[in-house]
Amino acid sequence: MLFRTLSLSLTLVVTALSSLPAAAQTPLPLIEKGKLTWGTNGTFPPFEMMQDGKMIGFDVDLVEAMVAKMGLQSAPSIIDFKGLIPALLGHRIDAIISAMYINPERSQVVDFIPYLRIGDQMLVAKGNPLHLKALAEMCGHRLAAAVGTVYEKQAEALAAECEKSGKGTLTIISLTSTAVSALALREGRADALVASVPTVLALVKESPDAFEITGDTFDNNTLLGLGFAKDKTALKDAVDKALKAIVADGTYAKVIKKYGLPATASLF
Amino acid sequence: MLSIFSPQLMLGYLFSLNFACAALTTVWISLASLLAGILIGLLLAAGQEVPSRIVRGGIAGYLWLFRGTPVLLQLVFAFNVLPMFHIVLPAYGCAVLALGLNEGAYMTEIMRSGIRAVGPGQRTAARALGLEERQIMLWIVLPQALRIVIPPIGNQFNGMLKLSALVSVIGVQELLLMADQTASMNFRFLETLTTAGIYYLAMTTVLTVIQAFIERACSRRRGRSAKASGFKLFSPAKLGMVR
């Protein structure tokens, strides 16, 4: 009798104790359980790029380190850049991790966790046939940009300026991604494009006989953000925690160094 | 946050210059591609009757290639691969080239069916009247075939208006790209895509009305009886063959 009471109460206590950590850990609002479905453009070196059929890059490594801390699996979803925010708002992806610039318009619909600081630079064809030294000189020439990017907005602002100053019309070639814009530059359909400093450096490294950088870097305090839907604060906080964890243990700095980004890119 | 749908915003887009210009681009690209397609179709359909094996083989090869691959592939090929052979056309040039060649393949088959639908009796009668093969094709067969193929051509034009949306991927400022670009600034996809949809519907509806008008006009000219107009139009006296 005594033994039975003791063993029963022991079982009850053990069960109560073991259920405590489970209660403290509410499941994350993920689209697919156990996986972080993250949307990315897939062709934006060095953040994400295809190599031998696999996607590699700064963002890929960052995600893998973070999901390891969260006990999840990485499930990338490759979407055209302009489709990333609609996909996030339509709950088809959990997060946007595609070197997305944080700006006021996007922050109205997306919650960002800043994770890197970069600047922009102009890329031209090798030999710089038009002797372009700055974006303002592009009036009367052709600028390639991907739809939905900040580069497209810059191009549109520049086009308006060119109209006002009467220096000639800026022709904007609107394409689906920065990689296609680089191809257009290579083929002579465009005279220049703008991308982040790491990207243009990666493009020059990949094809040194096709491209060269020109002019100074600008907008050097642009922040890249991990994007989350506004109603998924629990997920955002969990990822934030994981990010801080990988900063603390040095993984973040290591990935920055691996992809040749300057130390000034680090936000932590 | 923001409302799901803002009618004022949509009406603003509907009557904006941007979208109107983009709609015009859609129409002119569709028209240009269709015209190119019709010309190619007429040429190749007639060419399929030539005795030369090489010509007929070439036409068969062209049909096989352009009906066997997706239009989007042909478009991206024209845009990204041709420059490697030093043929760098501007975006709208690539659009009309790819769409036109693709349309030409389908038009060839449509024209061929139209030509085939003209009864053999017509050709026999024409030959009996002493007309040459070329005259038969030009004056007897093709006019009647063209009337028969008006519905399929109208169908193709309708399809072309919507197929033109594909050229947004190579940067042509048509309706779909305009909708995408506008939405990328404020994320109001419902309003911009609805606006583009309304424009497409308006264009295809106008086209359907025009097609019905053309069909009625052609059938009226054909007349209540074949005797009344058909024979008169193509009478030997009219053709100047009676001495």
Q: How far is A107 from chain B (nearest CA, A)?
A: 11
B171 falls in which pLDDT band (50, 70, 90)?
confident
B169 neighbourhood in chain A, CB within 8 Å:
175-176
Residue A230 with chain B: CB contacts under 8 Å: 1
Q: What CATH number belongs to A35-119+222-265?
A: 3.40.190.10
Render pLDDT for B38-83 as a digit per residue (tens, 0 to 9): 999 989 988 888 889 999 999 999 999 999 999 999 999 999 888 8
For the purposes of burial, counting CB atoms within 10 Å of the CB of B223, is it exposed (0-12), middle (13-18) or buried (19 or more)? middle
d(CA A110, CA A88): 8
pLDDT at B225: 45
**Domain ranges (residues) in chain A:** 35-119+222-265, 120-219
Q: What per-residue confidence (pLDDT) applies to B40?
A: 95
Domain ranges of chain B: 7-233
Per-residue pLDDT of chain A (268 residues; tens, 9 = 90+): 777 777 676 766 665 555 554 444 678 889 889 999 999 998 898 999 988 888 999 999 999 999 999 999 999 999 989 889 989 988 899 999 999 999 999 999 999 999 999 999 999 999 999 999 999 899 999 999 999 999 999 999 999 999 999 888 999 999 999 999 999 999 889 999 999 999 999 999 989 999 999 999 999 999 999 999 999 999 999 999 999 999 999 999 999 999 989 888 898 8
Which contiguous run of DSSP H or E holds residue A151? helix A150-165
**Distance between CA atoms of B79 and A144, rounded to whole angstroms?**
14
Residue B6: band (very low, low, confident or very high) from pLDDT cuts 50, 70, 90: confident
pLDDT of res. B218: 79
Q: Is B185 on the interface with A (CB under 8 A)?
A: yes
Specify whether the CB–CB gap between B103 and B36 falls below 8 A: yes
pLDDT of residue A17: 57
**Count of alpha carbons within 13 Å of A134, Cβ hemisphere only?**
6
The whole-number pLDDT of residue A2 equals: 76
Rounded to two decimals, what is the model's pTM?
0.78
Minimal-distance CA residue of chain A relative to B174: A174
Cβ contacts of residue B144 below 8 Å, gap of 6+? B118, B122
Domain A120-219, CATH homologous superfamily name and number:
Periplasmic binding protein-like II (3.40.190.10)
Q: How confident is the model at residue B229 (pLDDT cuts 50, 70, 90)?
A: very low
Distances (CA, A) of B12 to A147, B18, B192: 22, 11, 10
Mean pLDDT of chain B: 87
ipTM: 0.72
pLDDT of residue A14: 61
Task: Give A147 to chain B, closest Cα distance, Å.
Answer: 6
pLDDT for A158 equals: 93
A154–B contact, CB cutoff 8 A: no
Architecture of domain B7-233: Orthogonal Bundle (1.10)
Provide, as residue numbers in chain A, all residues whose Cβ is less than 8 Å from the Cβ of B183.
82
Of the partner residues A147, A184, A187, the one whose CB lies closest to the CB of residue B184: A147
Q: Does A45 touch chain B (CB under 8 A)?
A: no
Which is nearest to A200 in space by CA: A126, A103, A251, A101?
Answer: A126
Strands A211-229 and A110-125: antiparallel
Q: Give A53: exposed, middle or buried? Use CB within 10 Å, 0-12, 13-18, 19+.
A: exposed
Furthest-apart CA pair in chain B: how many Å?
86
Interchain pair B88, A187: CB under 8 A: yes
Interface of B with A in 93-122 (CB under 8 A): none
Q: Are strands A110-125 and A35-40 parallel, antiparallel or unpaired?
A: unpaired
A120-219 shares the fold of A35-119+222-265:
yes
